[in-house]
């Protein structure tokens, strides 16, 4: 008999388990963060100031997630109400060297980063004499080193405090299950600390489910997934060339292998917001021979957060709901209404692709493609659900 294939253990994700996850735009001062926030959220914060600490409190906005499936469903049903999925984005003030020790407004900035679930890290690759660089010149690899080091130094501080508190508990000794659990947690924290002191980010470690349970309450900055955004001049974005790109690729290969990196021109994206209609925007992009980077940025962030969607449809409403991939039907029902999770009976399910292929729910039913699923059903990205639940107890 051939040997059994080894089961592939799925990597357990760090971070909060919820569906309402938040992303923060992070970077050094004056790299284009606030201008990107304005462009991506189609809202104005006034003119971004040309000096560090211009943005003190993180600004928040919800960004609509571009999805052709949602657009297709709205066109098909022409519903009275249309509710797309969205991603919450924060504009966080610029970091500076020494932020981890409180330089500038460092402690406030780092606490804001701690509160989000993932990071858009903006790296400046454009020259502009009118926009000062907090370090004096444009050097993206140095900037990447500064941010990476500041986040890691702060994580070391968090972890050392947690380890000190844990050691006070484990010194009591004993053989109870509680003490054994505390010692396991202590070992995990020591492993995290060694990794950080070795210059590595926590998100790059391989952790067991039990270790993840111990790490998540620490809210470590380097545990958060990162999407790197390389901010080019409009000219370089159009011609797809920049003298820094090769060095950035090498830096990421060494320090952040596997993390997404997306080029964009914040200058171009900001200019596009001045057009009055979407038709004008598309005409301008066509004349330049490029596409806006914003839709891809939003979709990529949802992917690194391991978020997916299911739909509820009808002539009254088409709605796209956000869930973590791997969510079971009762928990997905709970996203619609908390009582539905408690009183869940079953879900009537078919996938969007099947609806698009066959054209109507009646045809799907005729082909026997509509399924009735129970509590153990894992909702797939693109599923269309009808939830059946009992009456909630008063």
Average confidence (pLDDT) over 256-281: 93
**204 and 334, same domain (yes or no):** no
pTM: 0.86
Taking only the tens place, the pLDDT of each residue in 200-225 is 999 999 999 999 999 999 999 999 99
Q: Which domain holds residue 195?
A: 22-303
pLDDT band at 179 (very low <50, low <70, confident <90, very high): confident
Q: What is the pLDDT of residue 93?
A: 73
Task: Return the SS3 of 293.
Answer: coil
Q: For the chain, what is the mean pLDDT?
A: 86
Same domain (yes/no): 359, 237:
no
Same domain, 333 and 267: no
Residue 267 lies in a domain: yes
CA gap 163, 28 in Å, rounded: 30
Spatial neighbors of 243 by CB under 8 A, at least 6 apart, are none
Residues 218 and 356 reside in one and the same domain: no
Residue 288 annotated in ligand binding: no
Answer yes or no: is 246 a known binding residue: no
Looking at the structure, do residues 373 and 293 belong to the same domain, yes or no? no
Interaxial angle between packed helices 245-255 and 140-170, expressed in degrees from 0 to 180 and rounded to the nearest 10: 20
Number of domains in the chain: 2
The answer to the question of whether 232 is labelled as a binding residue is: yes
Nearest to 211 by CA among 240, 239, 190: 190
33 is in an annotated binding site: yes
pLDDT digit string (tens) for 11-38?
567 887 777 789 999 888 888 888 898 8
Q: Which residues contact 215 (CB under 8 A, 6 or more apart)?
A: 14, 188, 192, 202, 207, 223
Sheet containing 118-124: order of strands: 59-64, 86-91, 22-26, 118-124, 226-231, 261-264
Please state, in angstroms and rounded to a whole number, the distance separating the CA atoms of residues 58 and 44: 14
34 a known binding residue? yes
CA 391 to each of CA 168, 339, 341, 346, 385: distance values in angstroms, whole numbers, following the listed order: 49, 8, 11, 13, 19
Annotated binding-site residue? 12: no
For the segment 180-198, the average pLDDT, to the nearest whole number, is 94
Question: Are 297 and 334 within one domain?
Answer: no
Q: What are phi and psi of 71, to 5 degrees?
A: -60, -40
Q: Please report whether residue 59 resides in a domain.
A: yes
Give residue 155's pLDDT: 92
Same domain, 67 and 169: yes
pLDDT tens by residue, 111-141: 788 889 999 999 999 876 455 555 557 789 9
Buried b (16+ CB within 10 A) or exposed e, 313-341: beeeebbbbbbbeebbbbbbbbbbeeebb
Q: Which of 158, 60, 162, 154 is nearest to 116 (CA)?
A: 60
């Amino acid at each position: 008999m051939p040997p059994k294939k080894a089961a592939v253990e799925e990597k357990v994700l760090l971070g909060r388990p919820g569906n309402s996850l938040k992303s923060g735009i992070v970077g050094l001062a004056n790299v284009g963060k606030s201008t990107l926030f304005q462009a991506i959220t189609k809202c104005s914060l006034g003119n971004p100031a040309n000096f560090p600490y211009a943005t003190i409190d993180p600004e928040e906005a919800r960004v609509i997630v571009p999805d052709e499936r949602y657009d297709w469903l709205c066109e098909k049903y022409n519903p009275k109400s249309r509710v797309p999925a969205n991603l919450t984005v924060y504009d966080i003030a610029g970091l500076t060297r020494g932020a981890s020790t409180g330089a500038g407004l460092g402690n406030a900035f780092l606490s804001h980063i701690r509160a989000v679930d993932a990071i858009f890290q903006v790296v400046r690759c454009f020259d502009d004499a009118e926009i000062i660089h907090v370090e004096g010149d444009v050097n993206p690899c140095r900037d990447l080193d500064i941010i990476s080091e500041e986040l890691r130094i702060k994580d070391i501080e968090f972890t050392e405090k947690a380890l000190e508190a844990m050691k006070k508990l484990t010194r009591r000794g004993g053989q109870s299950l509680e003490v054994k659990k505390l010692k396991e947690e202590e070992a995990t924290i020591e492993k995290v600390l060694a990794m950080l002191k070795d210059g590595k980010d926590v998100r790059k470690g391989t952790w067991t489910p039990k270790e993840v349970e111990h790490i998540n309450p620490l809210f470590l900055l380097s545990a958060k997934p990162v999407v790197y955004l390389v901010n080019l001049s409009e000219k370089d974005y159009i011609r797809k060339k920049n003298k820094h790109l090769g060095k950035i690729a090498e830096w990421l290969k060494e320090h952040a292998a596997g993390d997404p990196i997306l080029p964009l021109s914040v200058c171009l994206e900001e200019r596009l917001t001045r057009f009055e209609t979407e038709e004008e925007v598309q005409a301008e992009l066509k004349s330049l021979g490029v596409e806006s980077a914003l839709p891809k940025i939003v979709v990529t962030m949802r992917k690194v957060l391991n978020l997916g969607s299911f739909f509820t449809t009808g002539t009254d409403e088409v709605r796209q709901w956000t869930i973590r991939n791997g969510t079971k039907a009762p928990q997905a029902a709970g996203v619609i209404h908390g009582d539905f999770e408690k009183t869940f009976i079953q879900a009537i399910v078919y996938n969007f692709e099947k609806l698009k292929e066959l054209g109507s729910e009646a045809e799907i039913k005729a082909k026997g493609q509509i399924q009735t699923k129970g509590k153990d059903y894992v909702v797939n990205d693109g599923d269309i659900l009808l939830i059946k639940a009992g009456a909630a107890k008063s």
